Chain A
Amino acid sequence: MEMQEVEMREALRQAIDEEMTRDTRVIVLGEEVAEYNGAYKVTKGMLDKWGPERILDTPIAENCFAGLGIGAAMTGLKPIVEFMSFNFSFVAADQIISNACKMYYMSGGRFSVPIVFRGPNGAAAQVSCQHSHCVEAMYGNFPGLIIIAPSNPYDAKGLLKSAIRDPNPVIFLENELEYGMKMEIPRQEYLVEIGKAKIVREGHHVTLVSYSRMLNICKGVASELAQKGIHVELIDLRTIKPLDIATVAESVRKTNRCILVEEGHMFAGICAEIGFQIQEHCFDFLDAPIVRICQKETPMPYSKVLERETLPTKAKIMRAIEDVLR
């Protein structure tokens, strides 16, 4: 297989570009996606290639352009809406929640909303309280939305292509700190199926579940522990909703211990949900309480030391694993 080394942003760009070639109904809209080439350069060069009819700079009016995308999706197009930060999607929450997510069910299947909302989620470097929230737990509470959060360029490209082809609204979560992440991926076209977790590393001592940027921290933890003779089974959720609980449960039945890591907040977070589902599926198999490492219950502080303290870290994950194995 012929391979190419690409950054995350390039993998995402290729996914959009290939789908735009395949389907003339696909359009991109958002703040600074065209003339500025994208706030994080995901759409670099696309205006030149596809023109202003398909790559559209919007005013700073998230609720309006999200809704415009929904209306276009209901009437035959396949819009990709970029949020410069998913924290700005809160401005568009009414459109995403009341219209995109509920339309298919509410209309008795008359109108579907094939739309992708994509952009960076969660914390970057010291961007403080209003630009750092992880949105997956909030959107996870609304039936009708698909939520995807890849951790590497290969998955990002394959999943974004699947998301664009899906007839449902998709929340596609990227990470500002990972846009430069490099990886070898195939040159030829491929898809990654929505709703399938991946066992990144096999092990038998403890199951470690995470996604997005935190998965890469967990990877480091797992290799370090392997040198100490502790074999972690690491699972990358890749899709948060629908949740691939079968893969997680199968692993927990094998290891009998589970640690969950999430960049977002503890209360009513994704880990709270996964932990509960493990309890439903694996109650008799657990040899230790499930432990979760999440963001502490604070808005994101600006100062570096405080920012580090509120987020999950390698040390915190390491300590939790050693605790459950004691």
Chain B
Amino acid sequence: MVTKQKHPIHFFPDHTQKLMKTLGSEHLLKALRAMLLIRNFEIRSESAYQHGNIGGFFHAYIGQEAIQTACVDLLGQKPWYLTTYRCHALALLLGVTPAEAMAELYGKATGNAQGRGGSMHLYADRLLGGFGIVGGHLPVAIGAAFSIKYQKQKSLSVCFLGDGAVAQGTLHESLNMASLWDLPCLFVIENNQWGMGTAVERAVCMFPIAETLAPAYNCKGYSVNGMDYFSCYSCFQQAAQEVIETSRPVIIEAFTERFKGHSVSDPGLYRSKENLQKAMEQDPIIRLMKTLEAAGHLTQEAYEQMNKEEKEKVIAAMKFAEESPLPDVMTLEEGVFCPR
């Protein structure tokens, strides 16, 4: 294999001090709390999986929390959102209750999709789904952007994808059409370095991805440190504004790390202990916690308390899921078609 040309990464500035001021401590503590809910939800549900309460495939968002938290903090319920099968976090951020999400994982009637979607397919009013086919949701995302444009709304479609999807043809097709048709779509490549067990450099010929791709599609492309809440927030702020104002696609590559395997059944044998250790040192939750602590917005005790509260929310959600009824098998064939 020819050694690939690696271009330097131009990381988007984090503007930490400025954001600390403009966002204020209440906003940032809320963000930290949201990230802790995701972390606790993933840890607990993974253990529920190990106990056999959750089946199928299960992909945890642990390590990547800063990215989607910052995005939803900034944009709220305004955009249409789409993401991959690693979708628990985005659903929680967009208002799906931990109970409703957990019940879906447990395959219960009270679940987010009535026990029909499972871990990979969660929805909210503005979340068009966790999608199970790598790259399969990209054309759908530009379709949502098309609707926004057709209905003359001032909004955007936000499409999260993994580095694995960069090798799919849909990325090229969707960027091409979004650029040709001036569609307000923000593509967020969450580069967690691994497509299942295949390192990104063995699957994608570009480095960095967004900065390399963007000029070819006549759009902006940004690299951002996905382990840092402030960097992500700043970058989304700039990118979303550009998408809405110009009605053009923008690509962000968020460099991140997942601390777990691709899915719960993946022991991660392809990854060295040192590699994982190094990744975990960048924990986005610890990073935000330390920044807030240094600024005097948070004490260790308050942090522990917050973590405990979020853990309790998840435990309550598990109790709800456990106690919820299974779907009535008589309903199996209902809802294949939408009633006329």
Question: What residues of chain A have their CB less than 8 Å away from a CB belonging to chain B?
Answer: 27, 53, 58-59, 61, 63-77, 94-95, 98-99, 103-112, 114, 143-144, 146, 165-168
Contacts and interface: CB of A to CB of B under 8 A. Distances in A.
A203 B128 CA distance: 51
Given A64-B142, A168-B337, 20 more contacts: A59-B173, A61-B173, A61-B177, A63-B139, A65-B139, A70-B143, A71-B82, A71-B128, A71-B143, A72-B146, A72-B150, A73-B143, A75-B80, A76-B151, A77-B150, A104-B335, A109-B338, A110-B123, A114-B338, A165-B340
Nearest to B138: A67
B335 A75 contact: no
A143 B116 CA distance: 14
B140 A74 contact: yes
14 contacts: A53-B150, A59-B180, A65-B177, A67-B137, A67-B142, A75-B147, A77-B150, A95-B139, A105-B116, A105-B336, A109-B114, A111-B123, A144-B336, A167-B339
Nearest to A113: B338
A144 B141 CA distance: 21
Given A59-B180, A107-B129, A71 B123 contact: no
Nearest to A114: B338
A312 B23 CA distance: 72
A53 B181 CA distance: 10
Nearest to B142: A68
Interface in B127-141: 128-129, 131-133, 136-141
A52 B82 CA distance: 27
Contacts of A61: 173, 176-177
Interface centre among A58, A73, A106 (most CB of B within 10 A): A106
B139 A104 contact: no
Contacts of B151: 76
Nearest to A165: B340
A71 B113 contact: no
A76 to B, nearest CB: 5
A53 B151 CA distance: 11
Contacts of A63: 139, 169-170, 173
B187 to A, nearest CB: 14
B136 to A, nearest CB: 5
A213 B129 CA distance: 39
A70 B177 contact: no
B144 A111 contact: no
A72 B147 contact: yes
A-B pairs, 8 with minimum CB distance: A71-B143, A67-B139, A108-B113, A64-B173, A108-B114, A71-B140, A75-B147, A112-B338
A95 B129 contact: no
B112 interface: yes
Nearest to B133: A98
A71 B144 contact: yes
A67 B150 CA distance: 16
A108 B123 CA distance: 9
Contacts of A98: 131-133, 136
A74 B335 contact: no
A72 B173 contact: no
Contacts of B86: none
Given A103-B129, A106-B117, A71 B338 contact: no
A67 B176 CA distance: 14
A71 B173 contact: no
A75 B174 contact: no
Contacts of A104: 335-338
B208 interface: no
Nearest to B147: A75
Q: For A67, A69, A94, A144, which residue has the most chain B Cβ atoms within 10 angstroms?
A: A67
A143 B136 CA distance: 19
Interface in B70-120: 80, 82, 111-117
Nearest to B129: A107
Contact of A74 (B121, B143, B337): B143
Interface string B176-219: 11001000000000000000000000000000000000000000
A106 B116 contact: yes
B87 to A, nearest CB: 12
Contacts of A72: 143-144, 146-147, 150
Contacts of B123: 107-108, 110-111
A70 B170 CA distance: 14
A65 B173 CA distance: 9
The residue among B131, B147, B180, B336 with the most chain A CB atoms within 10 A of its own CB is: B147
A146 B340 CA distance: 13
A141 B106 CA distance: 28
Contacts of B337: 104, 144, 146, 168
Nearest to B157: A71
Contacts of B146: 68, 71-72, 77
Nearest to B148: A75
A99 B143 CA distance: 12
Of the candidates B145, B173, B176, the one having the most CB atoms from chain A within 10 angstroms of its own CB is B173
